[in-house]
Amino acid sequence: MLKFSATTCKQLTKVLIDWYHHHKRDLPWRHTRNPYHILVSEVMLQQTRVTTVIPYYEKFLSHFPTLESLASAPEQSLLRIWSGLGYYRRVRYLQAAARQIISKWNSQFPKEYHDLQTLPGFGEYTAAAVSSIAFGHKHAAVDGNVLRVLTRLVNEKGNVKKTAIRRKLNFAAQSLVSSVGPRSAGTWNQALMELGATVCTPQNPSCNLCPLKQWCSSVKAGTQCIRPVKVRPHKKEKMVTSVIVCTKNEQFLMRQRPEKSKIMPGFWELPEVEGQLLCETDLHEWGMKQLRRLSSFSHGITSRIYDVNVYIAASKGKPLRSFHWVPQGKLSTIPLTTITRKTLAILESISPEGR
């Protein structure tokens, strides 16, 4: 297993923590050790950029300032506040974790790493981040930024997605965090993340600014730009879908996605059908007529890219039971799918009145 010497660990960690205190970004979740606030930030930061997270973090905590307020919140309220941040399973796990903390630990946030791992949605990283930042426990929080720093530091030539390589790098990370002083584990973990986010970046790393360059094997070998080893990504599947905007008396025809849906369950959406062309049967069943094409746009998710065609239709008769007329003024109070939000934004840009 890869392990740094005790002397190297002490020198390296001291230098990076000093650098962090002088160069860290001023982020709202760095002003607290409240485990609930830290959990919210860590969950939001998964798969999402810091600049995107900041306003969502502040808005979320203004609506749900405590575990109790989160646990008792209606799901539709949660989804609406989270809307636009993506990966909506995260907020459901967040609420489930809050409820479990209240029921199992009498509203006292569990401090131990292994207890945290029993909470819904908690993996090794989230448990390590919360236990170290909130409680000072010495557990290595290894995210993508940290993995990149460690890979370059030791000039790892293997594929970091392979279990054996990850285990080796995790072991190295744990040897480093174990060497820091009392209550400094959270600072160290955040310092490594900060270095990866701002200096040891995926492309064009700023090695001349790196406080760890004297220990970096990749810098010495000149391989920092090819570490970690690049793995060719899978091609995204291309899909075509059509969205129909149908209004009546300042109301939009919409439906709510079923709770069993794999994508965005519980969210509201405009009528949508796969493919570019709509048949008359669909229009008749949906209570529509006089279809005309309005616009189009692209929308990407994890494994697919959608070409979205937007149509305008007039109301005709009573639609299917699964559809409802939603007042325009209520749209800001319900969770909307991303495609629906983008469609309504196009409509708003064409007609300021949204009709």
pLDDT in tens, 36-89: 999 999 999 998 999 999 999 999 999 999 999 999 999 999 999 999 898 899
Element counts in the chain: helices (H) and strands (E) = 14, 7
**Lowest-pLDDT range, 8-17, 30-39, 177-186, 268-277?**
268-277
More confident residue, 304 or 201: 201
pLDDT grade for 167, boundaries at 50, 70 and 90: very high
Is it the case that residue 355 has pLDDT exceeding 50?
no
Q: Give the HSE-up count for residue 282: Cα atoms under 13 Å, Cβ half-sphere.
A: 14
Region 156-177 average pLDDT: 94
Phi (first) and psi of residue 236, to 5 degrees: -80, 140
Which residues, including other chains, have CB under 8 Å from residue 92's CB and lie 6 or more apart?
A: 75, 78
pLDDT, averaged across the chain: 92
In this prediction, residue 352 carries a pLDDT of 52
Region 254-267 average pLDDT: 90
Q: How far apart are CA 302 and CA 84, in angstroms?
A: 15
Region 290-303 average pLDDT: 87
Q: Is the pTM of this model over 0.85?
A: no
Nearest to 66 by CA among 45, 93, 36, 97: 36
Region 293-310 average pLDDT: 90
pLDDT grade for 2, boundaries at 50, 70 and 90: low
Active-site residue, selected from the candidate residues 42, 156, 194, 269: 42
More confident residue, 114 or 280: 114
- Give yes or no for a contact between 212 and 239, defined as CB atoms under 8 angstroms apart: no
In this prediction, residue 119 carries a pLDDT of 97
Is it the case that residue 268 has pLDDT exceeding 90?
yes
pLDDT grade for 349, boundaries at 50, 70 and 90: confident
Phi (first) and psi of residue 256, to 5 degrees: -100, 130
pLDDT grade for 350, boundaries at 50, 70 and 90: confident
pLDDT grade for 3, boundaries at 50, 70 and 90: low
Is it the case that residue 207 has pLDDT exceeding 50?
yes
Does 348 participate in catalysis according to the annotation?
no
Q: At what angle do helices 89-104 and 75-82 cross, to 10 degrees?
A: 130
Task: Report all structural domains of the chain as residue ranges with CATH numbers, in order of start.
Answer: 6-226 (1.10.340.30), 237-350 (3.90.79.10)
Q: How far apart are CA 205 and CA 318, in angstroms?
A: 60
Share of the chain above pLDDT 70, in %: 96
